[in-house]
């Protein structure tokens, strides 16, 4: 399937699973599995931003670490289309086979403090991927690092300083420069603005949007903050207990969610307008453990619409409208509209 | 002084004397909390929110010290006491801490000891402040205190309270630990509750539950709350009155509706604009605040916001510090666009 403007998928993830064994006792007996990623599938089109949202522990980071092959998935396919048009499944590749792909798929981390080496200058931090990818000439690397720092809005003279001399937002820019050093095509960003203050967050989001257009980057953007994901994404996938429960264009998912969990999640976001009344708390209870998810639909213990079938039979992700998929038996019969004042731009932001 | 504020903070300054220089973490903060009111304090990281709340309880970490100002708190008996003048280890502040003013601190793990169950710790607190439960005098027995904690746990929505009582804090999920902490804070029936980012570390659906819980408790018991957060959405839903801080100073304060719909201070306006919302256009550049937050050692002279302010008045804003003055609509602002009063130099 091709994207809305005919763009080809750059990455196709199918039936991705990552189970972590739970081991006990002196003989390290496996007594069960954490189903951190449990049958995840989606496409990422060239040049788009796919947002991945969900609450803590739902499997966002594990999904991105599988795609980056920071870990091997338990099963599934991750079909990546290379620059020359050929397609390669990232899942079974060995370290050596992955090496040429590392330059094309890069990562931006959540923690601008932990992701840089404090004992290395910006030149070494940003230039390291270049060195690894064979740019051994120091002068050449300096030029490239200077160019990258300028690209992310930092002064090239900064390259001889150490990370501790920079603020959170500046460190996140350094992390972005590092990720872009090898001219990647796919950038996986795991909570890249979560640690930043509102005003700094806006600067970094603007930078990401601008770089995406200039360099025709494709983003998989992982975050738990719904307004941030809404702002940056073309399409959004919502995860719950290791599974995608809904996937749709941003506007559809925020205005006409089809999954009861998505609707509850949207209602839980406090709106920055005192004239909008706080929504009723409709989600009770807690997220089940991915080590022992309930039978049937994983959402059924908390779902106000659950019936006998939901407790027995696990729903599959199915396309209900063009490009809008949902994992719920009853989606077409539910009335889940988001209250108008929560989406109507007639208020302050209009 | 019935009808007056429960807490009145005036000109509070807290300074950390470090080897590299001194940090003016809180630099002349003033605000009032009326009985039963929810006051939200909002501002970016490092602006002095937590230090302000720690000062109220004389809990500022050394080498920090309260350098100026007063914090008049009306005690249960009706007498006013200046919290700024109390000995941090003295009898009076220990009576007030926990019993009359309770704190839900920002670091959730630090607040419960890992070696005692959460139940034991709350039971101890109740027995220590027995007067809150036995106004006519006398001790609270262990069994009675335990029964109180079970009720509190049920109140804050902890299921199976009898079992959870005997858990250690590290055995609880983030949401449950937060609820246990709220139960702890409420265990001595405080008249003022200080909640420092009580939901920042938890997920949005759990956050909605905790916020609903705090709103409900506030309504039922009339507890005044000072609610600290950097999340403007949470502020809009919780506070009736808002204090906006920047670099240790109050930029603007007023009723929540005015702050969100008629902000007067350039910083408040810029902050509201720069936030991606749940409505409006997507994938467009957000308005930003230019520049970066200055390092605490390099406080700008004059209005602390002037290097980043688009409306700065040349010659005036970089030279003098505007004071917080009423600007109409129940609001006050520290800004020369609205008045001419500067701090004495
Ligand atoms: N123990 C300390 N020693 C030295 N400086 C400190 C100490 N505690 C706080 N500060 C400084 O005081 C200022 C205010 O800190 P505070 O913790 O009140 O910020 P905050 O508004 O609560 O921020 P956040 O949103 O990150 O919690 C900062 O510049 C901080 O670095
Ligand atoms: N290395 C690991 N070993 C065991 N369990 C793990 C490991 N990494 C993640 N998990 C578990 O997998 C689930 C998904 O985690 P994660 O992908 O980090 O979620 P998210 O990023 O959405 O918060 C969680 O239950 C987490 O505890
Ligand atoms: S399948 Fe049933 S339990 Fe699951 S979300 Fe749909 S209605 Fe709710
Ligand atoms: S006093 Fe001047 S610099 Fe400060 S906020 Fe007002 S206009 Fe801007
Ligand atoms: Mg994560
Ligand atoms: Mg703080």
Domain boundaries, chain A: 11-104+184-343, 115-183
Q: What is the pLDDT of residue B86?
A: 97
Quick check: ipTM above 0.90?
A: no
- Residues 126..185 of B with a Cβ closer than 8 Å to A: which? 173-175
C-alpha angle with apex A149: A101 to A126, nearest 5 degrees?
Answer: 45
Of A190, A203, A228, the residue nearest A70 (C-alpha): A190
Choose the closest CB to A349 out of B233, B280, B289: B280
Tokens of A348: 């302050």
Q: With an 8 Å Cβ cutoff, are B261 and A284 in contact?
A: no
B248 alpha carbon, closest ligand: 1
The helix (run of H) or strand (run of E) holding residue A318 is: strand A318-321
What is the DSSP-derived secondary structure letter of residue A203? H
- In Å, how far is A299's CA from the nearest CA of chain B? 14
Exposure pattern of B256-290 as b/e (b: 16+ CB <10 Å)? bbbbbeebbbbbbbbbbbbbbbbbbebeeebebbe
In terms of CA atoms, which chain A residue is nearest residue B240? A274
Mean pLDDT of A192-213: 90
Query: Looking at residue A64, what is its pLDDT?
Result: 96
CB pairs under 8 A between A and B: 153
Helix (H/G/I), strand (E/B), else coil: A101: helix
Does residue A178 register a pLDDT over 60? yes
Closest CA to B132 of B101, B157, B161, B153: B101
Q: Which residue of B267, B312, B332 sits with most ligand 4 atoms within 8 Å of its CB, as the best mutation to test the pocket?
A: B312
Inter-chain residue contact A342 with B207, CB threshold 8 Å: no
Closest CA to A228 of B204, B35, B121: B204
Maximum C-alpha span of chain A? 68
Q: What is the mean pLDDT of residues A297-325?
A: 96
Ligand 4 centre and the CA of A231: distance in Å? 30
What band does A238 get if pLDDT is binned at 50, 70 and 90?
Answer: very high
> Looking at CA atoms only, how far is residue A273 from chain B in angstroms?
5
Spatial contact of B239 and B50, defined as CB atoms under 8 Å apart:
no
- Tracing tokens 């839903």 back to the chain, one arrives at B237
Residue B179 dihedral angles phi and psi, to the nearest 5°: -65, -40
pLDDT of residue A115: 81
Q: How many other C-beta atoms are found inside a 10 Å radius of the C-beta of residue A81?
A: 17
- The segment with the largest mean pLDDT, out of A24-28, A231-235, B156-160, is A231-235
Please report which helix (H) or strand (E) contains residue B103, including its range.
strand B101-104
Q: Which CATH number fits domain A11-104+184-343: 3.40.50.300, 2.170.120.12, 3.40.350.10, 3.40.50.2300?
A: 3.40.50.300
What are the residues whose beta carbons fall under 8 Å from the beta carbon of B103, sequence distance 6 or more? B53, B57, B59, B97, B185, B193, B194, B196
3-class DSSP assignment, residue B244: strand
Q: Which CA distances in Å does B158 have to A24, A269, A274, A292, B216?
A: 29, 22, 29, 21, 15
Distance from CA of B225 to the nearest CA of A (A): 17
Please state, in angstroms and rounded to a whole number, the distance separating the CA atoms of residues B42 and B44: 7
pLDDT value of position A1: 47
> What pLDDT digit, counting tens, does each position of A4-15 carry?
555 679 999 999
Res. A348: pLDDT tops 50: no
Report the relative pairing of strands A235-240 and A49-53 from DSSP bridges: parallel
Residue B173 with chain A: CB contacts under 8 Å: 286
- pLDDT value of residue B292: 81
CB atoms within 10 A of CB A84: 5
Could you identify the residue written with the tokens 């006792």? A25
Neighbours of B19 (CB within 10 A): 5
pLDDT higher than threshold 50 for residue A345: no
Ligand 3 atom closest to the Cα of residue A311 is 3
How far apart, in whole angstroms, are the C-alpha atoms of residue A295 and residue B329?
56
pLDDT at position A5: 52
Instruction: Please check the confidence at residue A159 and state whether its pLDDT lies above 80.
Output: yes
Instruction: Please give the mean pLDDT across all residues of chain A.
Output: 90
Name every residue whose Cβ is closer than 8 Å to that of residue A116 and which is 6 or more positions away in sequence.
A125, A163, A171, A174, A175, A178
**Which residues, listed in sequence order, are joined to residue A186 by a DSSP beta bridge?**
A105, A218
Compute φ and ψ for A153, nearest 5 degrees: 80, 25
Residue A18's pLDDT band (boundaries 50, 70, 90)? very high
User: Measured between CB atoms, does B89 come within 8 Å of chain A?
Assistant: no
Residue B318's CB: how many other CB atoms inside 10 A?
A: 15
Share of chain A above pLDDT 70, in %: 94
Residue B12 CB less than 6 A away from ligand 1: no
Average pLDDT over residues A261-278: 92
> Could you report the per-residue pLDDT of A73-130, keeping only the tens digit for each?
999 999 999 998 999 999 999 999 998 899 999 999 887 677 889 999 999 999 999 9
pLDDT along chain B (345 residues), means of 10: 85 91 93 96 92 95 94 93 96 92 80 90 91 87 94 85 90 84 89 90 84 88 93 94 97 98 97 89 91 84 96 96 96 97 89
The answer, yes or no, to whether any atom of ligand 2 lies below 6 A from the CB of A224, is no
Phi, psi of B266 (to 5 degrees): -55, -35
Q: At what angle do helices B118-128 and B142-155 cross, to 10 degrees?
A: 110
Q: Residues A98, A105: contact at Cβ < 8 Å?
A: no
Neighbours of A32 (CB within 10 A): 13
Phi and psi at A238, nearest 5°, equal -105, 125
**Residues near A189 by Cβ (< 8 Å), separated by ≥ 6?**
A107, A108, A208, A219, A220, A221, A222
User: What is the value of pTM for the model shown?
Assistant: 0.90
Instruction: Judge whether B29 and B249 are in contact, CB under 8 Å.
Output: yes
């Amino acid at each position: 399937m091709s994207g809305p403007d005919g763009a080809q998928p750059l990455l196709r993830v199918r039936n991705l699973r990552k189970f972590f064994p739970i081991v006990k006792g002196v003989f390290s007996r496996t007594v069960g599995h954490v189903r951190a990623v449990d049958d995840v599938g989606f496409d990422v089109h060239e040049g788009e931003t796919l947002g991945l949202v969900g609450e803590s522990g739902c499997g966002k980071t594990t999904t991105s670490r599988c795609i980056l092959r920071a870990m091997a998935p338990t099963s599934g396919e991750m079909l990546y289309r290379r620059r020359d048009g050929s397609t390669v499944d990232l899942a079974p590749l060995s370290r050596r086979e992955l090496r040429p792909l590392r330059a094309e798929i890069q990562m931006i981390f959540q923690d601008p403090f932990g992701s840089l080496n404090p004992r290395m200058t910006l030149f070494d931090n940003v230039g390291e991927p270049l060195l690894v990818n064979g740019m051994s000439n120091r002068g050449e690397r300096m030029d490239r690092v200077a160019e990258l720092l300028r690209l992310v809005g930092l002064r090239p003279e900064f390259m001889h300083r150490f990370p501790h001399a920079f603020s959170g937002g500046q460190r996140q820019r350094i992390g972005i420069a590092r990720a872009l050093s090898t001219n990647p095509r796919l950038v996986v960003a795991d909570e890249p603005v979560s640690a930043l203050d509102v005003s700094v967050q806006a600067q970094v989001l603007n930078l990401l949007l601008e770089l995406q257009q200039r360099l025709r980057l494709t983003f998989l953007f992982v975050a738990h903050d719904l307004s941030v994901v809404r702002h940056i994404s073309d399409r959004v996938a919502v995860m719950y207990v290791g599974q995608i429960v809904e996937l749709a264009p941003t506007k559809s998912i925020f205005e006409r969610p089809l999954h009861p969990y998505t609707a509850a999640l949207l209602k839980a976001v406090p709106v920055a307008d005192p004239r909008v009344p706080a929504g009723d708390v409709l989600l009770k209870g807690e997220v089940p453990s991915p080590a022992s998810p309930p039978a049937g639909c994983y959402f059924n213990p908390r779902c106000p619409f659950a019936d006998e079938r939901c407790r027995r039979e696990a729903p599959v992700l199915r396309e209900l409208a063009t490009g809008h998929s949902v994992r719920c038996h009853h989606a077409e019969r539910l009335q889940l509209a988001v209250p108008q004042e929560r989406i109507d731009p007639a208020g302050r932001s209009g | 002084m019935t009808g007056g504020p429960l807490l009145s903070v005036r000109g509070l300054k807290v300074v950390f004397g470090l080897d590299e220089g001194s940090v003016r973490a809180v630099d002349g903060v003033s605000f009032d909390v009326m009985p039963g009111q929810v006051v939200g304090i909002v501002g970016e990281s490092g602006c002095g929110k937590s230090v302000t709340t720690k000062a109220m309880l004389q809990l500022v970490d050394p080498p920090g010290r309260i350098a100026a100002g007063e914090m008049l708190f009306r005690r249960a008996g009706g007498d006013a006491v200046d919290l700024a003048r109390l000995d941090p280890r003295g009898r009076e502040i220990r009576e007030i801490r926990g019993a009359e003013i309770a704190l839900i601190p920002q670091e959730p793990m630090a607040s419960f000891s890992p070696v005692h169950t959460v139940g034991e710790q709350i039971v101890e607190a109740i027995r220590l402040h027995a007067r809150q439960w036995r106004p006519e005098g006398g001790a609270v027995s262990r069994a009675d205190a335990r029964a109180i904690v079970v009720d509190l746990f049920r109140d804050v929505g902890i299921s199976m309270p009898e079992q959870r009582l005997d858990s250690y804090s590290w055995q609880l999920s983030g949401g449950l630990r937060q609820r246990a902490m709220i139960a702890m804070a409420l265990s001595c029936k405080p008249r003022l509750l200080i909640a420092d980012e009580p939901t920042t570390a938890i997920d949005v659906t759990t956050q909605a539950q905790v916020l609903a819980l705090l709103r409900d408790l506030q309504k039922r018991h009339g507890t005044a709350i000072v609610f600290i957060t950097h999340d403007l959405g949470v502020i809009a839903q919780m506070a009736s009155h808002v204090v906006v801080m920047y670099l240790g100073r109050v930029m603007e304060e007023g009723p929540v509706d005015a702050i969100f719909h008629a902000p007067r201070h350039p910083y408040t306006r810029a902050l509201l604009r720069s936030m991606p919302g749940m409505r409006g256009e997507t994938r467009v550049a957000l308005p930003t605040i230019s520049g970066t937050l200055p390092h605490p050692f390099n406080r700008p002279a004059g209005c602390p916001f002037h290097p980043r302010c688009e409306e700065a008045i040349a010659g005036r804003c970089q030279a003098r510090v505007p004071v917080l003055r009423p600007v109409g609509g129940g609001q006050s602002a520290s800004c020369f666009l609205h008045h001419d009063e500067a701090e004495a130099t």
